[in-house]
Amino acid sequence: MKHDYFYDKRENVDSLTKLYNREVIFGYIDILITKKIPFVMGIMDVDNFKYINDGYGHKTGDRALMEIAKRIDQIVGEKGVVGRYGGDEFLFVIPEITEYDDVWQNSHDLLECTKNLASKDLNELSMTVSLGSSRFPLDSTNIDGLFELADKALYRAKMKGRNCFVIYLKEKHANINLKTERDKIVSSTYIESMIFNKICQENLKVGIIDVINYVGSFFMIDHLCVCDEDTLYFDYYHPICKNRDFKILPSKIMKSSMNSQTGIFFKNYIGDNLNQNIMKELEEQNIYSILWVEIKSHGKSFGYLRADICSNPSGRIWQNLDIDILHNIACLIGVELYYNNKEIKDL
């Protein structure tokens, strides 16, 4: 049964989702803290929601939010409470759940319930959420501290590729610094500048290796490399990636799936309307999602920049920044190879 606190709060709901508003949730958290009742608090964020609104319209976006709200409220049920924090963010609070395994299972259930959102308006779009959570009193003893730590966990989930959850652990996440919008712009500009300077240096091979290692680490890509028809070059492996046995994929099949204008092919999930031949190849290498960019210049193709995700069975939600950065790397490599009259194997 929900706490008596909610009996006179039935009018204090968000007009769209019919969930409690943030003020009600904050008041409930205050009560739990005052009474020293342990609880887990989580923040859920809809992945790429801006692109849902921009691509399908705000009415479709509203329907998507209502469906997500309905599902997470059903999962939390009587054991806790769910609210809308604002925009595409939701809060949940569940008392008497603080053991890691219990929080993990709860987070898993919440993530699973938001998958395969059925909507005739969203038949071309995979909708997912990211989730970060913290625990009282284990992580913090006040609201501000709990929100900051849950936000750090959420930030980590987004950096891992979204469509996943992270439970705050001091030993893993204490040093995470949350970035402002200005910081994100500066970081993006810095990355682009660094890539240009590295690749355009005198020794192209050294520059490519430096960039592959940096970008692979920054974007938490399990495996990143350059490849041609026969060989993988300059492999980067993320420390959490246990797979080290990547093989050549059939480039003709991959290229047939690429966007003819951009030379980009990516899938967030290998089972997402994917060519069966490609799917078989990816499954054999335990690859859950992939991004390929053709390396070309002046109409000449040199090979591909390939990114594989193997550590997250739910795949990865490739972001515009991820794709733009990898596309720019491929373009710069192509230009350097063309004007130096070299092939990848010559490096």
Q: Are 212 and 232 in contact (CB under 8 A)?
A: no
Per-residue pLDDT of the chain (347 residues), as tens digits, is 456 667 666 678 888 999 998 888 988 999 999 999 999 999 998 887 776 776 677 888 888 889 889 999 999 988 899 999 888 899 999 999 999 999 999 999 998 887 766 555 555 556 778 999 999 999 999 998 999 999 889 988 887 778 889 999 988 887 877 765 555 555 677 788 888 888 888 899 999 999 999 899 888 899 999 998 889 999 999 887 888 889 988 877 777 777 777 888 888 777 656 667 778 888 888 888 899 999 999 999 999 999 999 887 777 878 777 888 999 999 999 999 999 999 999 98
Two structure tokens written together for 82:
């769910």
Fold of the CATH domain 4-173: Alpha-Beta Plaits (3.30.70)
Q: May I ask the CATH architecture of the domain 181-346?
A: 2-Layer Sandwich (3.30)
Q: ∠ CA(118), CA(119), CA(121), 5° rounding?
A: 150
Q: Using a CB cutoff of 8 Å and minimum separation of 24, what contacts does 12-18 make? A: 14/83, 14/84, 16/62, 16/65, 16/66, 16/84, 17/65, 17/66, 17/69, 17/70, 17/84, 18/69
pTM confidence score: 0.61
Query: Where do the domains of the chain lie?
Result: 4-173, 181-346
CB count in 10 Å sphere of residue 272: 11
Same-fold call for 4-173 versus 181-346: no
What CA–CA distance (Å, rounded) separates 319 from 240? 21
- Give the residue ranges of DSSP H helices in the chain: 22-34, 49-56, 58-76, 100-113, 143-159, 170-173, 181-199, 204-218, 251-256, 276-284, 320-339
Sign of CA dihedral 70, 72, 75, 77: negative
